[in-house]
Amino acid sequence: MNQTIGFIGLGVMGKSMAKHILKAGYPLNIYTRTKEKAEELLSLGAEWKSTVAELSNESDIIITMIGYPQDVEHVYLDEAGIISSARPGTYVIDMTTSQPSLAKKIYEKAKQKNIYALDAPVSGGDIGAREARLAIMVGGHREAFDHCYPLFEVMGQNIVYQGEAGSGQHTKMCNQIAIASGMIGVCEAVSYAKKSGLDPANVLKSITTGAAGSWSLSNLAPRMLGEDYEPGFFVKHFIKDMGIALDESNEMDLFTPGLKLAHELYEKLAEEGNENKGTQALVKLWDKAEVNN
């Protein structure tokens, strides 16, 4: 418990993750671009750091949960970033969904400074973050994973070491690919239930526990029915993730028609002004088609 944790990024998921760390008794340093997002954590005892460099120099383990690969690259590799500012022996954990190649680059740069880097993206959305039930998929050095495992347990339940640097990010791409096509199926099932005159909420009672069951069907389909499009996971971030998965798939000459279609549909959804909605807002495309027909 005597290790000080630094946490950068207090968005929809990061804030809940940081709160679990604080409540577990770890001293917590925090930094985010918008300080207002930190007020609750500060009131609970977290320490505010005014720069990435300050936080990095005063923390034993640093966690980042930010938006895009370019943000990750800046935070880690800029002149006043984490790698330049952290002390030798520090552990750094990027829990952002990002590029596997960037995870490898950060790992190599960290290694040169005797810093231990892990890529550890998560799945479970806002609910999983809030309830500390995230799935955490980890790449990097095995001993670094073992050292940080107690901290991962504070935030998640399904914690799996996947292999060398970049393996966590590759695993998250598998996760996003599975979700991408699945979300189309959820939207079509909800729309079919409505069109056929059934009570969609009652339909969900039957199909969420059978072979069709999925996290999206159990957690996001009810939000669709309630027209609750607030983000557990932003449309814009899902588009980013699918873009990374498509790039990686193309590099491997992998055929991913479901992923390609989902990416196109979500881009259309974003073009219609829904980039800051939750991924369940995809059903709006079906609702719009119904109105137009």
Instruction: Give the model confidence (pLDDT) of 44-89 as tens digits.
Output: 999 999 999 999 999 999 999 998 999 999 999 999 999 999 999 9
pLDDT over 70 percentage in the chain: 98
- Report the DSSP beta bridge partners of residue 93: 63, 118
CA pair distance 203, 90, nearest whole angstrom: 51
Say if residue 176's pLDDT is above 70: yes
Do the Cβ atoms of 185 and 250 come closer than 8 Å?
A: no
Does 290 score more than 80 pLDDT? no
Per-residue confidence (pLDDT) for residue 125, from 0 to 100: 87
pLDDT, position 288: 86
Q: What is the pLDDT of residue 132?
A: 97
Number of helices and strands (H, E) in the chain? 15, 9
DSSP secondary structure, 7-64, as one string? EE--STTHHHHHHHHHHTT--EEEE-SSGGGGHHHHHTT-EE-SSHHHHHHT-SEEEE
The mean of the pLDDT values for the chain is 96
Query: What 3-state class would DSSP assign to 118?
Result: strand
Q: Which of 37, 172, 277, 288 is catalytic?
A: 172
Is 172 part of the annotated catalytic residue set? yes
How far apart CA 205 and CA 88 sit, in angstroms, is: 53
E strand or H helix at 167: helix 167-195
